[in-house]
């Protein structure tokens, strides 16, 4: 089993169920990611003080790494937290999930949080206070962190710090890692398209995008965009919600249908898809099987609020992985 290292914003998710009117009054585009100040974060939480909320350790790359660990893979995470209770909560939650933590601590900023506003259709809109997560700089990253790892996964939200993300990817490639990136959000792609394209062409092996992100990057429909992106990297994945996903490697392209599920909250669906995919890839599965494992993880997480699947669901996915593994072994024997 290959080892996976993730780098991303260490954020604690605050999950709130709200109405479409609430989003309009806050001036937040539905389905977007919005950076906010600490004062704005406090105002939003005050506004919904009477609404039931949940708090979980989150962040895009963190969710992906936690998925890999939950499935039994070997995974570690680099991020930055504050010297506070929220930071302690974040570290403890990662350790409980068997993730090796390489967490840096800011002495000047509070731990970051992402307020996840979930509308009745399950769509999520992010209002993110980065806090200590934004304090992570290129100088915090050393080549020693990548020793012994085979796959390096980063979230697109980090592209706002060009020096950090480019140094991290360069060090990963120098250590022989495959590099995987999740494009994160359509507005992030729109604001950083040229930088992303240069980064992908020079360093990235695997690209994950949803339909909106791939359109922002290529201005093409999903089937055409996955082909276009695959010309710039080794493996391209474009997720299309209830219609499943497209994956392309070289001249081979597949469409993987979604599993039947009732969408309560789409938070983390893309992150868990990437986690299931990378876990399967680290275990030697073929690309189609990797997509199927990612699809199952994503399909299960949309049925709950938040990103923490119950243990019985992880057991179900692990059993499916074991069946696939046994099937591959029998094929190899023949």
Residue-wise pLDDT tens digits, 186-205: 989 999 999 999 999 999 99
Q: Is residue 211 pLDDT above 70, yes or no?
A: yes
Q: How far is CA 307 from the centre of its chain?
A: 11
- pLDDT at residue 262 is higher than 90: no
Residue 6's pLDDT is what? 98
Distance between CA atoms of 36 and 168, rounded to whole angstroms?
25
- Could you tell me the CATH number of the domain that includes residue 176? 3.40.1190.20
* Domain assignment present for 25: no
Residue 233 located in a structural domain: yes
| Nearest residue to 119 (alpha-carbon basis) of 46, 26, 189, 37 | 26
Q: Please give the pLDDT value at position 334.
A: 61
Per-residue exposure over 275-301, b if at least 16 CB sit within 10 Å of its own CB, e if not: bbbbbbbbbebebebbbbbbbbbbbbb
pLDDT digits (tens, 9 = 90+) for 151-171: 999 999 898 899 999 999 999
pLDDT of residue 333: 67
Q: So what's the pLDDT on residue 38?
A: 85
- Is 37 a domain residue? no
Give a yes or no: residue 196 inside a domain.
yes
Mean pLDDT, range 49-57, rounded to an integer? 83
Residues spanned by the domain of 280: 3-11+58-111+129-333
pLDDT one-digit tens code per residue, 298-314: 999 998 877 889 999 99
């Amino acid at each position: 089993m290959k080892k996976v290292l993730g780098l991303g914003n260490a954020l604690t998710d605050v999950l709130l169920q709200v109405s479409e009117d609430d989003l309009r009054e806050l001036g937040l585009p539905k389905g977007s990611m919005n950076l906010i100040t600490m004062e704005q974060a406090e105002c939003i939480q005050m506004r919904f003080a009477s609404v039931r909320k949940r708090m979980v350790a989150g962040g895009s790359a963190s969710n992906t790494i936690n998925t890999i660990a939950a499935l039994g893979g070997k995974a570690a995470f680099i991020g930055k937290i504050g010297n506070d209770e929220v930071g302690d909560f974040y570290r403890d939650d990662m350790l409980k999930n068997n993730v090796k933590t390489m967490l840096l601590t800011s002495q000047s900023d509070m731990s970051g949080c992402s307020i996840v506003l979930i509308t009745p259709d399950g769509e999520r809109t992010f209002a993110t206070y980065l806090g200590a997560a934004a304090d992570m700089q290129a100088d915090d990253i050393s080549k020693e962190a990548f020793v012994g790892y085979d796959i390096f996964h980063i979230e697109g939200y980090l592209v706002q710090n060009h020096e950090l993300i480019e140094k991290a990817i360069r060090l990963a490639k120098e250590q022989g890692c495959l590099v995987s990136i999740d494009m994160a959000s359509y507005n992030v792609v729109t604001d950083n398209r040229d930088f992303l394209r240069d980064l992908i062409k020079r360093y990235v092996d695997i690209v994950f995008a949803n339909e909106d992100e791939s359109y922002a990057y290529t201005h093409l429909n999903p089937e055409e965009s996955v082909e276009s992106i695959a010309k710039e990297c080794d493996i391209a994945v474009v997720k299309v919600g209830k219609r499943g996903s497209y994956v392309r490697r070289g001249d081979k392209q597949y469409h993987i249908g979604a599993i039947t599920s009732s969408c309560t909250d789409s938070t983390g669906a893309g992150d868990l898809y990437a986690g299931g995919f990378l876990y399967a890839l680290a275990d030697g599965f073929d690309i189609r099987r990797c997509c199927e494992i990612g699809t199952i993880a994503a399909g299960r997480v949309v049925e709950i609020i938040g990103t923490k699947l119950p243990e019985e669901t992880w057991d179900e996915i692990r059993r499916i992985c074991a069946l696939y593994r046994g099937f591959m072994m029998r094929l190899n024997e023949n």
